[in-house]
């Protein structure tokens, strides 16, 4: 007796449909799974055996062979349990449910036959849709997440007993087709912000301006300044001015969190840009993704959002060096014995650092000044290598504010106002890049960069002079142009003017001092 079901597994953050073939033939009782299963899949035999027995079904005392195809895809996780169990029930004639053929079946079983939710459902259901399937059977706890994919009929069950009780009632009758994203009210913006507001930050106009530019064009940024100047405080307020995710971005981000098993609310797509703030003791694996079947690391969890590395020089140099590929290629490829996996890593890097180990180099106060030797200062700074710094668009000095500005609380720009200008600049970018894969100025490259960042003649002259005077690299040159483009967008200007370029040049202070 033979039956075939469809299961799914994750490869990176994408789902892959796996055929689950069940064959029951005469012979000594034996239960085995073939087709490159991982040990977690092999353990399925024990769970399925107990679950069926404890649900009142008969476990066939014959030779049962499960084949997972295609055989060249490594299968991992407990998500095949349900497909295997239902396959056995069908092949042994204990279950006949119309609608089970061409149905994606996923779910982990507990020994008593109840179903546990699995991670990565969003990607798996999406894969089923792309294969032309319309029916999905999964644990009730995963239903809401699955309905985020449009055009599917999704049946949720709690246990095998519940499935057996349906006898031969059609499983999918009366289940409406999911409406996907239309179900959701797309927020025009994050008005319901619960994050901290820029209104609490006194003074620091240049730092706020730099954060506005960074948010508008999704540019990488680094703050440098003495301890207590408010660097951490400022960057923590960045989420309050970021634009919400577009529909496509939202789906991408939610898939990553689903694959990592970190979805905050299963019934909703993630709409706000992620803000990740790993501590400097983070391991290389934690940062880029780890495991024999790698799960997304911090750089992927920050996809389409912000990766905040506070006190950058405190991170081990080796950890900082691995950031270069994700920043440049916007994805990270992790090779393991069992799988090679690529995760998207399109984030905006926000970092902070002190100017030297004691923190006062270049920013002396009346009572404290730098006690570090030039050698120590150089050592400290060399941790952040030139190539990494080159990839950061905005370098901004954040001095400590004086007493008067601290007392002056009126006139502090609020997040609401800053966000307004960010959105205005975003609208300009959307119009300009319509029909291209690009959304933000920070993504401009090569030909598109030259096309969209033309300078007036005086601008060219200013740039060439600064290029020589500051000893800028080619990469820094491109970054200055991108920043100038965003500044012009914030100014609601079609072309880049000399004043925009002049402001952009201010944000390369570390090129000079390092």
Ligand X SMILES: Nc1ncnc2c1ncn2[C@@H]1O[C@H](COP(=O)(O)OP(=O)(O)O)[C@@H](O)[C@H]1O
Nearest of 8, 5, 462, 421 to residue 216 by alpha carbon: 421
How near is the Cβ of 148 to Mg ion at its closest, in Å?
37
Q: Is 195 in the site for ligand X (CB under 6 A)?
A: no
Across 52-90, b (16+ Cβ under 10 Å) vs e yields: bebbebebbebebbbbbeeeebbbbbbbbbbbbbbbbbb
Tokens representing residue 124 in the block: 């798996």
- Classified as helix, coil or strand, 108 is strand
Judged by CB under 5 A, the number of residues near Mg ion is 1
CB of 103 within 8 A of CB of 154? no
Least Å distance, CB 381 to ligand X, is: 17
Which of residues 110 and 232 has its CB atom nearest to Mg ion in the complex? 232
Q: Does 277 bind Mg ion (CB under 5 A)?
A: no
Q: Which residues from 53-92 bind ligand X, rule CB under 6 A?
A: none
Q: For strand 135-139 and strand 103-105, is the pairing parallel, antiparallel, or unpaired?
A: parallel
Radius of gyration in angstroms for the set of CA atoms belonging to the chain, rounded to a whole number? 28
> Of 171 and 351, which CB lies nearer to ligand X in the complex structure?
351
Min CB(350)–ligand X separation in Å: 12
Given Mg ion, ligand X, none, residue 401, with its beta carbon under 5 to 8 Å by kind, binds ligand X
Choose among Mg ion, ligand X, none what residue 201 binds, the Cβ cut-off being 5 to 8 Å by kind. ligand X
From residue 142 to residue 181, what is the string marking binding to ligand X with x (rule CB under 6 A)?
A: ----------------------------------------
Check binding of 231 to ligand X (CB under 6 A). Answer: yes
Shorter beta-carbon distance to ligand X: residue 66 or 401 = 401
By C-beta, is 105 or 229 nearer to Mg ion? Answer: 229
Binding range to Mg ion, per CB under 5 A, among 1-9, 14-22, 224-232, 377-385:
224-232
Report the residue closest to ligand X, judged by CB.
230
Cβ-Cβ contacts under 8 Å for 251 (sequence gap 6 or more): 122, 126, 148, 181, 269
Stretch that binds ligand X, among 23-31, 70-78, 160-168, 200-208 (CB under 6 A): 200-208
Tokens of 262: 């970190």
Among ligand X, Mg ion, none, residue 291 binds (CB under 5-8 Å by kind):
none
Distance CA 190, CA 396 (A): 27
Shortest spacing between CB 86 and ligand X, in angstroms: 55
Assess contact for 274 and 246: CB atoms under 8 A: no
Tokens of 144: 């809401």
Q: Which is nearer to ligand X, 8 or 401 (CB)?
A: 401
With CB under 6 A as the contact rule, the residue among 99, 180, 227, 399 that binds ligand X is: 227
Q: How far is the CB of 231 from Mg ion (least distance, A)?
A: 5
- Span near Mg ion by CB under 5 A; candidates 206-214, 232-240, 249-257, 272-280: 232-240
Cβ-based nearer residue to ligand X, 158 or 402? 402
Q: Which own/partner pairs from 360-365 qualify as long-range (CB within 8 Å, at least 24 positions apart)?
A: 360/226, 362/513, 363/225, 363/226, 363/229, 363/399, 363/400, 365/226, 365/400
Q: Which does 313 bind (CB under 5 to 8 A by kind): ligand X, Mg ion, none?
A: none
167's CB contacts (< 8 A; 6+ apart) are none
Q: Judged by CB under 5 A, which of 232, 342, 473, 506 binds Mg ion?
A: 232
Answer with the entry of Mg ion, ligand X, none that 233 interacts with (C-beta below 5 to 8 A by kind): ligand X
**232 contributes a contact to ligand X by CB under 6 A:** yes
* CA-to-CA separations, 267 to 89, 103, 130, 183, in angstroms, rounded: 31, 22, 21, 10
Say if residues 79 and 68 touch (Cβ distance below 8 Å).
no
Between 377 and 463, name the residue whose CB sits nearer to ligand X. 377
- Taking the least distance from each CB to ligand X, the nearer of 107 and 225 is 225
Q: Does 230 bind ligand X (CB under 6 A)?
A: yes
What's the sign of the alpha-carbon dihedral 474, 429, 197, 344? Answer: negative
Distance CA 445, CA 443 (A): 6
In whole angstroms, how close is the CB of 232 to Mg ion at the nearest point? 3
Total residues at interface with ligand X (CB under 6 A): 13
144-169 burial string, b = 16+ CB within 10 Å, else e? Answer: bbbbbbeebbbbbbebbbebbeeeee
Contact footprint for ligand X (CB under 6 A): 201-204, 225, 227-233, 401
Contact footprint for Mg ion (CB under 5 A): 232
């Amino acid at each position: 007796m033979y039956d075939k079901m469809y299961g799914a597994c994750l490869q990176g953050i994408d789902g892959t449909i796996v055929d689950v073939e069940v064959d029951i033939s005469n012979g000594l009782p034996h239960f085995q799974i073939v087709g490159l299963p991982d040990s977690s899949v092999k353990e399925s035999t024990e769970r399925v055996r107990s679950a069926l027995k404890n649900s009142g079904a008969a476990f066939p005392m014959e030779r049962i062979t499960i084949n997972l195809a295609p055989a060249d895809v490594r299968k991992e996780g407990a998500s095949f349990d349900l497909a295997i169990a239902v396959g056995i029930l069908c092949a042994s004639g204990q279950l006949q449910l119309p609608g089970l053929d061409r149905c994606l079946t996923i779910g982990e079983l507990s020994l008593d036959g109840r179903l546990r939710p699995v991670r990565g459902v969003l990607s798996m259901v999406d894969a089923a849709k792309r294969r032309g399937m319309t029916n999905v059977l999964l644990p009730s706890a995963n239903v809401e997440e699955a309905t985020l994919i449009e055009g599917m009929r999704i049946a949720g069950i709690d246990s095998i007993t519940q499935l057996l009780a349906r006898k031969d009632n059609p499983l999918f009758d009366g289940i409406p087709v999911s409406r996907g994203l239309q179900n959701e009210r797309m927020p025009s913006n994050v008005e319901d912000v619960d994050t901290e507001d820029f209104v609490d930050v006194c003074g620091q106009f240049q730092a706020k301006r730099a954060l506005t530019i960074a948010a508008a064009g999704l540019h990488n940024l680094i703050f440098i300044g003495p301890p207590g100047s408010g660097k951490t405080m400022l960057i923590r307020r960045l989420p309050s001015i970021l634009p919400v995710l577009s529909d496509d971005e939202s789906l991408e981000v939610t898939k990553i969190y689903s694959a990592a098993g970190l979805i905050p609310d299963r019934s909703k797509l993630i709409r706000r840009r992620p803000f990740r703030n790993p501590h400097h003791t983070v391991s290389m694996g934690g940062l880029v993704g780890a495991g024999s079947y790698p799960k997304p690391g911090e750089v992927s969890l920050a996809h389409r959002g912000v990766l905040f590395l506070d006190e950058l020089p405190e991170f081990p140099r080796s950890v900082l060096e691995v950031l270069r590929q994700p920043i440049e290629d916007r994805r990270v490829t992790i090779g393991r014995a069992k799988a090679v996996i690529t995760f998207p890593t399109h984030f905006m890097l926000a970092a902070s650092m002190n100017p030297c180990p004691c923190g006062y180099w270049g920013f002396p106060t009346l009572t404290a000044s730098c006690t570090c030797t030039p050698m120590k200062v150089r050592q400290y700074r060399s941790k952040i290598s030139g190539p990494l710094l080159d990839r950061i668009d905005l370098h901004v000095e954040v001095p400590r504010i004086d007493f008067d500005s601290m007392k002056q609380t009126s006139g502090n720009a609020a997040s609401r106002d800053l966000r307004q200008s960010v959105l205005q600049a975003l609208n300009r970018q959307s119009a300009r890049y319509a029909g291209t894969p690009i959304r933000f100025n920070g993504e401009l490259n090569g030909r598109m960069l030259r096309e969209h960042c033309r300078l007036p003649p005086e601008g060219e002259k200013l740039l060439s002079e600064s290029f020589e005077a500051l000893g800028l690299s080619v990469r820094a040159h491109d970054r200055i142009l991108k920043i100038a483009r965003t500044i012009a967008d914030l100014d609601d200007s079609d072309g880049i003017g000399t004043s925009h370029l002049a402001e952009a040049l201010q944000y390369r202070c570390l090129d000079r001092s390092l």
